[in-house]
Chain A
Amino acid sequence: MGSSGDARMGCDRPMIADILVAGLVFGSLYGLVAVGFNVLHRPTNVVNFAQGELIMIGAMLMAATPIGGLPWGVAAACVMAIVAVVALVEERVAVTPVLRRSSHAVGWVITTLAFSLLLAEAAGRLWTDQPSTVVPPWPLSMRVQEVLGVRFSSYQVAVVIVAVAVVALLGVLDRSRLGTALRAVAADRDGARLRGVDPTALTRRSFLLGGALAGLTGVLAAPLLLASVTMGLGLLIKGFAALAVGGIGDNRGVLVAGWMLGVIEAAGAVFASPGSQSVVLFAAMLLILLIRPNGLRGLAVQRHV
């Protein structure tokens, strides 16, 4: 959000446009993080605390040789595959063992958090903590253009489009047979087993998909943010905020919430101070949750006794 510095002299139109552009672009990233949470949450009722570090690994792989040196499309595919495998490892060591013991306890909060610590530690040993820049693929670029007083780059537009496309694709998937099976497992893990749905297999597939999505988010984020080993935590928390505000399980809701929070954050950086961004974002989230505890659309699931 570096573009805010020169536009500090009042509420003129270009500044508001800058806030909206930055908000939409970063909000798309936050929305994608939250969509990743949703994908994993469906069959397991687990919210993956390692999601931020998975994305970090995606971005770092994109920045590092040898993968970074490959043609962009190939590199992105490799990154998605690698992160998907890492997510599968997480499912094996940190999620399924805990769910096997009890599907209600919150042990997974601790285990996925532990996995995220391990990922951060491994990344810290593998790569330097010097942030590195990643260039967008041809023909997209970060070069700022101005159309009708709105300044944006082609890559920023692409990121928003990809986020919308991902949510649309997941919507199609949701209406398929697989989506129905996922909902069955979410509602009652043991009950689904009786109806010929294998929750473990579905969990594995969801982690592969969620991991690939995290990889994609990392690939998309790399040119926007600097790829660094410490970027995971911020994305995790902002993704969480989008998830909480949008309502868990609601992909369209979390994307819209991501945009909203992105705009609030960008506005906070301009009107308050750049350092207070995270505080403004956090306060906004708390305020929204106080008023609507189940998220904006409030698709709450009632528990049964």
Chain B
Amino acid sequence: MSEVRGTRSGAVRRAAPWLAFVAAAAVLPLLSGDPTITYLATTAGIYVLVGTGLNLMFGYTGQVSLGQGALVAVGAYTTGILMADHDWTFWAAAPVAVAVAVGAGTLMALPAFRLSSWYIALVTLGAAMAARSLLVEFEGLTGGWSGLTGIPRPALGPWELGERDILWLVLAVNVMLLVMVRTIVDSRLGRGMMAVRDAPEMAQSVGVAPARMKLFAFACGGGTAGLGGALLAVHHGLVTPDDFTLDFSILFLLVVIIGGAARLAGPIIGTLLFFALPELLTGLAEWRGLIYGAALLVLMVYAPQGIAGAWERLRARRQDSGPPSETFGTDIPVEAGPPRGKPLGVELIGVRKSFGGVRALQEIDLTIEPGTVHAIVGPNGSGKTTLLNVISRLLRQDGGRVILDAEDVSRAPAERLARRGVARVFQTPRLLGASSLRDNVLLGAYPRERAGGPATVLRLPWARREQAELAQEADRLLAGHGLAGRAEEQAASLPHGEQRLLEVARASMARPRLLLMDEPAAGLTPRELESLGRLIRAIRDSGTTVVLVEHHIELVASVADVVTVLDRGRLVTSGPPQEALGDARVVEVYLGAPA
């Protein structure tokens, strides 16, 4: 935790604007005698609620949902039917509404979760359309076009809640939800979500199962939409299909984008600007469609981070950025903890892989001994990276078997390997660009961190202790990689060489038993190369198997225990560096046939 975040006074200072805002919203109905203001404020509060749920789906997990309005409808209708037709109390109906909406949200994501992200936009859009015709079709249950009327207000015993009380209820729910979302975002779960959004393959390589993460996000978004719908039903007292048009769904997306996706305050800013403002200035309401379209377009092109993002950037520019620190090549020993178990060996048996007509790997038989540095070299297009991808399970081989430490993993997904202790460094750094260096390193601990969803949200003491210990470990690792004191900086602002280091630090954070590195030396200076060599040897000596795909022959010669040479998808030779690199066939592969 940073200086500001860690102390109690810092926490108060950070929370102050939020508290002031909530207080202002809460006293609004007392100050203004106008019931319309209270009514609008309650509606806006409900929109913030739904927007915050969508922020978790779209902002943090990167899933475009155009069906949020349909999920609100599910919540509203469930509440309406239970309260108006079956005389349930609000307190019993609302949880059911949430549960039904969670189910609907999960269902919506189910067919799409194996496909690319725009399918989810399509499926949710289709769901929004289908939901409306279902509402009309099941007239007996939903009242058809005229909807459900006579939904009573919530009551506590004999006391029925008034307009103001509902506003306060909505505010209280919002505060609780925001605290929950903040906790989730700062935890292992939040880092997993952002990894799915920014780099799905990297997410898998650190042990995040993208499909499960998306389902979780959709369940959360569905639940908040359902709760919003329940509140909307008792707030309006009636629900009709016309309340849930496609525009209604798009409004929420807009609210998140304009306010600032992946920013906690985003939905609040967005709601105030795009719901409250036109509602108060009646002349604007007529132009709403035009404003929606133009705003989405302009914002996405010029300010994809929204208003909250632009504000942050403005503040960051004003703050003095510290002097660039001494990078790569500091001689502090790297403080990676011991690996999580014995080093892992790999055995490939007859592995084949083709891309269309290109046979990238042809019948590869290869044994990687545990506890060694095993380098794989070969000219461009020889299948090195494909081989690494097959070992890490990001690609599925066409034929043959992959054995990891006596276990057949030929059909295992990448995230399962990460849990077994396999870590990966990518050829081009794959980072959480918008997150801090510390969060990027912490992501590496994903497979060994124990706190799951409930423990995180409930802020159980052991989970918080675990989080604090890991943060310290991450800071030590950052220091060990020459990034001391810069834990709060944004990963995207690092120069390329340091982004590489950050990747290595993230991989070390996993305390891997097998580390797969894809061309870590590319673009490094000679001095940086030297410390990279030391780093790799240190990692091996601590008891980790290292598989190194590399072009830089000097580095390979100095660190590798075994060198395997590939050419056009075939294994040329494999042996100690001197022997393998001196092989006549290898010279031929690299330099062409002797004249």
Q: A237-B122, A275-B137, A279-B133 are in contact. Are A111 and B64 (CB under 8 A)?
A: no
Please tell me if the beta carbons of A293 and B114 are within 8 angstroms of each other in the complex. Answer: yes
The number of residues on chain B lying at the interface, defined by a beta carbon within 8 Å of a beta carbon of chain A, is 47
Contact of B64 among A109, A241, A289 (CB under 8 A): A109
A157 CB–B CB distance under 8 Å: no
Determine whether the beta carbon of A118 is less than 8 Å from that of B297.
yes
Question: Contacts A106-B64, A289-B111, A293-B114 given: A240-B126 contact, CB under 8 Å?
Answer: yes
A302 at the interface (CB under 8 A from B): yes
By secondary structure, the A interface counts as: helix
Q: Is A244 located at the chain interface by the 8 A CB criterion?
A: yes
Q: Which of A47, A115, A279 contacts B134 (CB 8 A)?
A: A279
Give Cα distance in the complex from A241 to B126, angstroms. 9
Interface flag for B382 (CB, 8 Å) = no
B297 contacts A244, C-beta separation under 8 Å: no
For chain B residues 126-154, which have a beta carbon within 8 Å of chain A?
126-127, 129-130, 133-134, 136-137
Instruction: With CB as the reference atom, state the residue of chain B lying closest to A100.
Output: B301
Q: Which of A101, A275, A277, A282 has the most CB of B within 10 A?
A: A282
Which of B288-296, B445-453, B505-513 binds A?
B288-296
C-alpha gap A240/B122 in the complex (Å): 7
A244 touches B301 (CB 8 A): no
Of the candidates B112, B123, B293, B426, which one forms a contact with A118 in the assembled complex, judged by CB atoms under 8 Å apart? B293
CB-CB under 8 A from B257, the residues of chain A are 110
Q: Which of A265-283 contact B (CB under 8 A)?
A: 273, 275-279, 282-283
**Given A118-B290, A275-B136, A305-B389, CB of A282 within 8 Å of CB of B297:** no
Q: Considering only CB atoms, which chain B residue lies closest to A111 in the complex? A: B300
Contact B129 A113 (CB under 8 A): no
Alpha-carbon distance between A117 and B126 when the two chains are bound, in angstroms:
16
A237 contacts B125, C-beta separation under 8 Å:
yes
Do A278 and B296 have beta carbons less than 8 Å apart?
Answer: no
Q: How far is the CA of A58 from the CA of B111 in the complex (A)?
A: 33
Expressed in whole angstroms, the Cα–Cα distance for A273 and B121 within the complex equals 27
Instruction: Summarize B's interface: helix, strand, loop or mixed.
Output: helix
**Interface membership of B115, Cβ < 8 A:** yes
Contact A98 B300 (CB under 8 A): yes
A107 sits at the interface (CB 8 A): yes
Closest to B290 in A: A121
With CB as the reference atom, state the residue of chain B lying closest to A276.
Answer: B137
Chain B residues with CB under 8 Å of A93's CB are 297, 301
Nearest-neighbour CB distance to chain A for B205, whole angstroms, equals: 9
Return chain B residues, CB-CB under 8 Å to A302: 355, 395
Give the distance in Å from the alpha carbon of A276 to the alpha carbon of B394 in the complex.
Answer: 42
The answer to the question of A94 belonging to the interface, with a C-beta cut-off of 8 Å to chain B, is: yes
B366 close to chain A: CB less than 8 A: no
Contacts of B112 in A (CB 8 A): 289
- Is the interface on chain A under 10, 10 to 19, 20 to 34, or 35 or more residues? 35 or more
**Cα distance A303–B253 in the bound complex, in angstroms:** 28
User: Is B246 an interface residue, CB under 8 A from the partner?
Assistant: yes
Contact flag A110-B300 (CB < 8 Å), given A233-B129, A233-B246, A305-B385:
yes
**Which A104-154 residues have C-beta < 8 A from chain B?**
106-107, 109-111, 113-118, 120-121, 124
CB-defined contacts of A233 to chain B, threshold 8 Å: 129, 246
Q: A98 with B301: in contact, given A111-B296, A117-B289, A118-B290 (CB under 8 Å)?
A: yes
CA of A98 to CA of B133, assembled, Å: 34
A197 within 8 A of B: no
**Number of residue pairs across A and B with beta carbons under 8 Å?**
118
* B296 pairs with A106, CB closer than 8 A: no
Q: Confirm or deny: A286 has a beta carbon within 8 angstroms of a beta carbon on chain B.
A: yes
The answer on a CB contact under 8 Å between B64 and A114 is no
Q: Hey, which chain B residues are within 8 Å of A120, CB to CB?
A: 289
- Interface status of B250 (Cβ within 8 A of chain A): yes
Task: Name the one of B126, B289, B427 contacting A282, with C-beta atoms under 8 angstroms.
Answer: B126
By a CB distance below 8 angstroms, the chain A residues around B119 are 244, 289
At the interface, yes or no: B311 with Cβ under 8 Å from chain A?
no
* A117 surroundings in chain B (CB, below 8 A): 250, 289, 292-293, 296
User: In the complex, A215 Cα to B201 Cα: how many Å?
Assistant: 39
Q: Give A113 to B301 CA distance when docked, in angstroms.
A: 13
Asked if A118 and B253 sit within 8 Å, CB to CB, the answer is: no
Q: In the complex, are the beta carbons of A282 and B130 less than 8 A apart?
A: yes
**In the complex the two chains form, is B129's CB within 8 Å of A237's CB?**
yes
Q: Which residues of A contact B395 (CB under 8 A)?
A: 302, 305
Cα(A117)–Cα(B250), bound, Å: 10
In contact, A111 and B111 (Cβ under 8 angstroms): no
Q: From known contacts A117-B292, A118-B290, infer whether A276 and B126 are also in contact, taking CB-CB under 8 Å.
A: no
Task: Report B-chain residues with C-beta under 8 Å of the C-beta of A107.
Answer: 300-301, 304
**Which listed residue (A118, A282, A289) contacts B115, Cβ 8 A?**
A289
Question: Nearest Cβ distance between residue B12 and chain A, in whole angstroms?
Answer: 37
Q: How far is the CB of B265 from chain A (nearest CB, A)?
A: 20
User: Is the CB of A97 closer than 8 A to any CB of chain B?
Assistant: yes
Contacts of A169 in B (CB 8 A): none
Cα distance, A47 to B64, chains bound together (Å): 13
Q: CB-CB contacts of A291-303 with B at 8 A, as 1s and 0s?
A: 0011000000011
Beta-carbon contact of A115 and B293 below 8 Å: yes
Residues of B within 8 A of A98 (CB): 300-301
Any chain B CB within 8 A of the CB of A290? yes
Contact A285 B300 (CB under 8 A): no
Chain A nearest Cβ from B117, distance in angstroms: 5
Q: Output the nearest chain A residue to B127 by Cβ-Cβ distance.
A: A282
Nearest residue (CB) in B for A93 is: B297
Asked if A94 and B297 sit within 8 Å, CB to CB, the answer is yes
Q: For the complex formed, measure the closest distance between the CB of B501 and the CB atoms of chain A, giving whole angstroms.
A: 20
Between B201, B289, B301, the greatest number of chain A beta carbons within 10 A of the residue's beta carbon is seen for B301
- Digitize A237-280: 1 where CB-to-B-CB distance is under 8 Å, 0 elsewhere: 10011001000000000000000000000000000010111110
B297's contact among A114, A278, A293, by CB below 8 Å, is which? A114
Q: Which residue of chain B has the shortest Cβ distance to A272 in the bound complex?
A: B137
Contact assessment for A305 and B394 in the assembled complex, using a CB-CB cutoff below 8 Å:
yes
Residues in B with CB closer than 8 Å to A305 are 201, 385, 389, 394-395, 426-427, 518
Q: How far is the CB of B562 from chain A (nearest CB, A)?
A: 23
The residue in chain B whose Cβ has the minimal distance to the Cβ of A285 is: B126
How far is B251's CA from A117's CA once the two chains are assembled, in angstroms? 12
- Least Cβ distance of B428 to chain A in Å? 9
Q: A146 CA to B426 CA in the complex, in Å? A: 65
**Please, what's the 1-or-0 string for B245-256, where 1 marks a CB less than 8 Å from any CB in chain A?**
010001001000
Expressed in whole angstroms, the Cα–Cα distance for A85 and B264 within the complex equals 40
Residues on B with beta carbons closer than 8 Å to the beta carbon of A294? 115
Task: Tell me the minimal C-beta distance from B166 to chain A in angstroms.
Answer: 32
15 contacts between A and B (CB under 8 A): A97-B301, A106-B64, A107-B301, A109-B64, A109-B121, A115-B293, A116-B293, A121-B289, A233-B246, A237-B125, A240-B122, A286-B111, A302-B395, A304-B389, A305-B426
A residues adjacent to B (C-beta < 8 A): 47, 49, 93-94, 97-98, 101, 106-107, 109-111, 113-118, 120-121, 124, 233-234, 236-237, 240-241, 244, 273, 275-279, 282-283, 285-286, 289-290, 293-294, 302-305
What are the nearest 8 A-B pairs in CB distance?
Answer: A117-B293, A114-B296, A118-B293, A114-B297, A121-B289, A282-B130, A97-B301, A240-B122
